[in-house]
Amino acid sequence: MTKQEWKNKTTVTEFILLGFGNGPETESLFFLVFLSIYIATITGNTSIIVLTVAHRRLHTPMYFFLGNLACLEICYSSNILPRLLLSYLGGDRSISVRGCITQYYFFGCLAAAECYLLAAMSYDRYLAVCRPLHYPSHMGRKLCLQLAAASWISGFLSNSLLTFLITNLDFCGPNEIEHFFCDSFPMMKLSCSDTRVTGLVTSVVAGVCSLPPFLLTFSSYFCIITTVMRIPSATGRKKTFSTCSSHLVVVILFYWSILVVYVLPHQDTQVSPSKVFSVFYTILTPLVNPLIYSLRNKEVKEALRKQASKLMAFRGLLSVKKGGNNPQ
């Protein structure tokens, strides 16, 4: 179809997100699975934020970054999963073009911010493990604030250009997106404009946002693991290595899936595989990050135990007061 024929077609005002399942049984299953994941993600990340704010022992650089990561994961999941759940619950999978671009904007911003934030967290752990004597003087409150602010600001700035380019694309043909959320390449596939520049810029920006942070993160954990292997105590070596290795697995999973979807050459046959890879960095990573980074730590477990004890004591006090107010 020629460009002029495309222009003569009616401009698309909404997209249809095809998601995963088409039958009633599969839709119900996916709804229950994603609802459980969303509840667990919000609960886990909210718990991390509450604990890091409420307990003074967690007022350290590491938990400051973990609190930022938890806040980011809540925003990240809330940008995608509620819309997906509503589509399964009500059966309406349509979304306006403007709403779709808005979802993509926040998704891209938060994904880029997470790349930078994970790199900042790995640098913090590198200083703590490999340069312990210099850690208090190097990783001060000012630097923590600067690294966190730079991660958030860089993430939101990096996706502004891409969103501007996609906003100026024309959509006048098929409106079914082979994905469960609004992403750049699936949207560009439906455009009747020339998307070569937009696609190239998307790959370049994705590479800039993910590859350098990945290399920094991987290098930091490599140095950490090398240092840990020199620990004389087998118990301490095993404990530290277990924690660092679990961090590294999640980081590799996150960066690898992003690089596969956005940086590698994009062909039409990649659409379905990219939808599968997208599950890793949009749904699974926000779910496992609280467990991997926080809930396994001794300090967090102790803070969680104290918070639970306070809650039980408060409930007991309310029960006693309620019982004392009852007439005999």
The contacts found for 162-165 with CB under 8 angstroms, 24 or more apart, are 162/108, 162/198, 162/201, 162/202, 162/205, 163/101, 163/104, 163/105, 163/108, 165/197, 165/198, 165/201
Q: Where does the pLDDT of residue 230 fall: very low under 50, low under 70, confident under 90, or very high at 90 and above?
A: confident
Overall average pLDDT of the 118-131 stretch: 90
Q: Where does the pLDDT of residue 113 fall: very low under 50, low under 70, confident under 90, or very high at 90 and above?
A: very high
3-state secondary structure of 21: coil
CA contacts within 13 A on the Cβ side of 70: 25
What per-residue confidence (pLDDT) applies to 1? Answer: 43
Q: Kindly report, residue by residue over 263-298, the tens digit of the pLDDT.
A: 765 555 444 567 778 888 889 889 888 777 766 666
Model-level pTM greater than 0.75?
Answer: yes
Overall average pLDDT of the 238-262 stretch: 76
A 10 A CB-CB count for 226 gives: 11
**How many angstroms separate the Cα of 320 from the Cα of each of 191, 309, 316?**
66, 16, 6
Residue-level length of the chain: 328
DSSP state string for 146-194: HHHHHHHHHHHHHHHHHHHHHHTS---S--EESSSS--HHHHHHT-SS-
5 has a pLDDT exceeding 50: no
Q: Which residue has the higher pLDDT, 228 or 312?
A: 228
User: Under a CB-based contact definition with an 8 Å cutoff, are residues 242 and 218 in contact?
Assistant: no
3-state secondary structure of 16: strand
238 has a pLDDT exceeding 80: no
Helix (H) and strand (E) counts for the chain? 12, 3
DSSP state string for 63-86: HHHHHHHHHHHHHHHHHHHHHHHH
* Listed range (30-39, 74-83, 250-259) with the worst mean pLDDT: 250-259
**How many angstroms separate the Cα of 302 from the Cα of each of 43, 166, 277, 294, 299?**
18, 48, 36, 11, 5
307 has a pLDDT exceeding 60: yes
17 has a pLDDT exceeding 50: yes
CATH architecture of 11-299: Up-down Bundle (1.20)
The residues spanned by each domain of the chain are 11-299
